[in-house]
Structure 1
Amino acid sequence: MEQMLAEIDGLRDRLNSLRYLQGDKIAASFELEYTYESNRIEGNTLTLLETAAVIEKGLTIGGKSLQEHLEAINHAYALDYIKELVRDKVPFAKPELLNIHKLILQSIDNSNAGKYRNVQVLISGARYIPPQPYLLDEQMEGFFNWYLINKDMLHPVILAAEVHERLVTIHPFIDGNGRTSRLLMNLILLQHGYPIAILKGDSDNRMKYYQALEDAQINGDKSNFLQLVALNVKEVFIRILRILGQTDL
């Protein structure tokens, strides 16, 4: 992992030296892909082109549910929100987390948007059982305390992955935990000058993602999940650099 992080930081430095070549269209393309893949992980069936049509042109896709349309639109709004937090250098705390979740579920489930759950939930297909609702306040307080203690101590990629895993393991919301956790992961990456991590939603990569999370939740082994996130960040760096003409990668 140390070597991987060193390689990632080398790629970050290389990209920083080429900032003058980067345009808004490159960022917009990766952000659209991220929205598509994050929703795809959760079962949204909009294609990448359909996601673009919904977000960029406001089109309605025949044969797709209203919820799938809202998931695409909401995720784009939530991504804009975390970019605003980065731009304005707003420290991450509970209000920001609840705002991210509220954006994810707006007009889908307004009664639960931006609120911790008050019922027990199960994760479909998983052995891990999230904590009972009466434990959430204490566990979320511990989550924020852990973040404050470690935010300046851990490598940003490890911090981002840890926050993602810890939040989705607590599973504080009735729905939208995965998308919210991935947005939080990317908020931290963006705060430290890294690109957004785009975890893939195809069947093979989705299963690797779920298995890595389950290894952490059931066995206490986070190594596969940390490796998965770090590798993803590295791959995104390489993709961007190749677009900018760095052919040696």
Structure 2
Amino acid sequence: MTNVTKTREMNVLVIVITILLSLISVLLALLQHYYFMFTIYKKPTLRFYYPEFEDLIPTDQHKYTALDYPIPSDAHIEDSVLNDLTSALQSDSEDIKISDRSKRKMGTNSEVYNTIQAALAFKISGKNNKAMKLFEHASALAPDNADVLNWYGEFLEQHHDILTADELYFKALAYSPDHKAALSNRKRTAPVVDRLDYRMFQEIDKLKEVLKSRMKLDNFDSVKKQAYYLHIYHTVGIEGNTMTVEQLRYVLETGHVVSGKSLLEHNEVLGLEKAMQYVKLLTRTEYIGVSEILGIHRRVMGHVDPLKSGVFRDEKVFIGSHIPPPPEEIPALMNNYAEWLNSEEAHSMHPVRYAALAHYKLVDIHPFVDGNGRTSRLIMNLILLKSGYPPVMILKEQREKYYDSLKTANIGDVKPFVRFVAQCTLQILNMYLYGTRGLSIDQALDGPGHPGNEVVGY
């Protein structure tokens, strides 16, 4: 009897265990099914802010004004706004450091050594202006000399330019990875620079909120309309277009040509306007894919080179010392780029950092024969608009600094380029505040509901 009972108990136990194992198997199968459904096959859901600044790109019916050419300086309030915005941007650009590295000449070792010795001697004697000029000269003569870059960085760090110093230490390590002094210096400066960058992102977000509170002012329509023209002016101007703001405005408002300007320059302006209107439509889309990027490029270059607009390049290109990927790799690289654009990794970043990296990554691939810069800047602004920020313009006067930060990114340090885009974001926010007869950056933050904070100087 006892043996029979034990046998029955064993059988029941086996049955129970079998049932439990079956249930576990079913649950694992269901979990696996939903994992693949939601993480592999489903496109990521984008969680952008409501595009509050979408209307900074005017609609067609509100963009045009009945003005004759040339435009009289006192004919319209919008012209006064345009002059004010331009002067605000010019005053901001006065402090911009323009790199002269595109014009540098390589020096002999003895010339570089003598220049550095003289710079160090002036530094010790307290003649900092002369020392600065000699350090600049030495770095221009030997841009890949780790010792020169490190000494120059130490000098700048002592004079409170830790951002540029950190960049120089990185460059020194790029050319000499085991450089002990540069390793020690960057270990010290990198966390400080990260904190400064974080503070700048905080400053951007505060100013964005200030601007949101001023968007309902009566003259804001005039401001955004003129900012629209300035945006086109600087974007095509970086590429070498010589039209003035008034001239391109005349072309867009009347459809007539400007005497003395080439057909190419007219077509660049018309193409960029079409692309900007397309970007405005894309602010409401959920997914930024390869087809959307091709659509932007098709409009940017459609008037300039219809046969090569909206298609990937099929030839090798050389951008200075940077060699972009071969044409056969572009389709796969662009698919990977689109996946990154819509990834959780990208969306978890601060929107300004995300936009800057999106710009750099596309320029690095360089998927088109021409129009890569304009397309990249539009992708950058599409991300900013979708994230609740105004579109950024890079000034013609910032061209050298813009390209220099891209070159630095090419050797592995993308922080200066992200910082440059953040500086441009602060610049555009300040410009809008100025244009609405608002307050300066410091005053805006000291206003009601915005306790005073020191603005990070860059």
TM-score range (shorter-chain normalised) is over 0.9
Is the counterpart of residue 215 in structure 1 residue 408 in structure 2? yes
Whole-angstrom CA distance in 2 between matches of 1:152 and 1:223:
18
Structure with larger RCO (C-alpha < 8 A, sep 6+) = 1
**Alpha-carbon distance, 1:101 to partner:** 0.2
Whole-angstrom CA distance in 2 between matches of 1:135 and 1:145:
16
Counterpart pick for 1:241 among 399, 420, 433: 433
Q: Secondary structure at the match of 1:54?
A: helix
2:297 and 2:375 in contact (8 A); partners too? yes
Counterpart pick for 1:187 among 374, 382, 404: 382
Q: What is the aligned partner in structure 2 of residue 130 from structure 1?
A: 324
Is the counterpart of residue 84 in structure 1 residue 301 in structure 2? no
Q: What is the aligned partner in structure 2 of residue 229 from structure 1?
A: 421
Give the partner amino acid of 2:347.
Answer: D
**Alpha-carbon distance, 1:246 to partner:** 2.4
Matches within 5 A, 1:49-64: 49-64=246-261
2:288 and 2:342 in contact (8 A); partners too? no
Give the partner amino acid of 1:245.
Answer: R
**Alpha-carbon distance, 1:23 to partner:** 3.3
Q: Structure 2: which 5+ runs fail to align?
A: 1-196, 442-458
- Structure 1 residues 65-98: Cα deviation after superposition (integer angstroms, max 9, x where no partner): 1010010011011111111221x33421111111
Is the counterpart of residue 148 in structure 1 residue 342 in structure 2? yes
Is the counterpart of residue 120 in structure 1 residue 316 in structure 2? yes
Identity %: 36
Give the partner amino acid of 2:396.
Answer: G
Counterpart pick for 2:373 among 170, 174, 178: 178
TM (norm. structure 2) is 0.52
Q: Please report the RMSD computed on the Cα atoms of aligned residues, expressed in angstroms.
A: 1.3
Give the partner amino acid of 2:213.
Answer: S
**Alpha-carbon distance, 1:248 to partner:** 4.3
2:220 and 2:436 in contact (8 A); partners too? no
Q: What is the aligned partner in structure 1 of residue 333 from structure 2?
A: 139
Runs of 4+ aligned residues of structure 1 deviating over 4 Å after TM superposition are none
- Distance verdict in 2 for CA 1:23–1:89, change over 3 Å: farther
- Structure 1 residues 131-185: Cα deviation after superposition (integer angstroms, max 9, x where no partner): 1101111211221122122332111100100000000110000110000000110
Q: What is the aligned partner in structure 2 of residue 4 from structure 1?
A: 200
Q: What is the aligned partner in structure 1 of residue 395 from structure 2?
A: 200
Q: Structure 1: which 5+ runs fail to align?
A: none
- Distance verdict in 2 for CA 1:97–1:17, change over 3 Å: same
Q: What is the aligned partner in structure 1 of residue 294 from structure 2?
A: 98
Q: Secondary structure at the match of 1:173?
A: coil
Q: What is the aligned partner in structure 1 of residue 238 from structure 2?
A: 41
Q: Secondary structure at the match of 1:151?
A: helix
Give the partner amino acid of 1:206.
Answer: R
TM (norm. structure 1) is 0.93
Q: What is the aligned partner in structure 1 of residue 174 from structure 2?
A: none
Counterpart pick for 1:158 among 353, 363, 379: 353
Give the partner amino acid of 1:211.
Answer: D
Give the partner amino acid of 2:274.
Answer: Y
Whole-angstrom CA distance in 2 between matches of 1:50 and 1:74:
15
Whole-angstrom CA distance in 1 between matches of 2:287 and 2:222:
28
Q: Which protein shows a greater Rg? A: 2
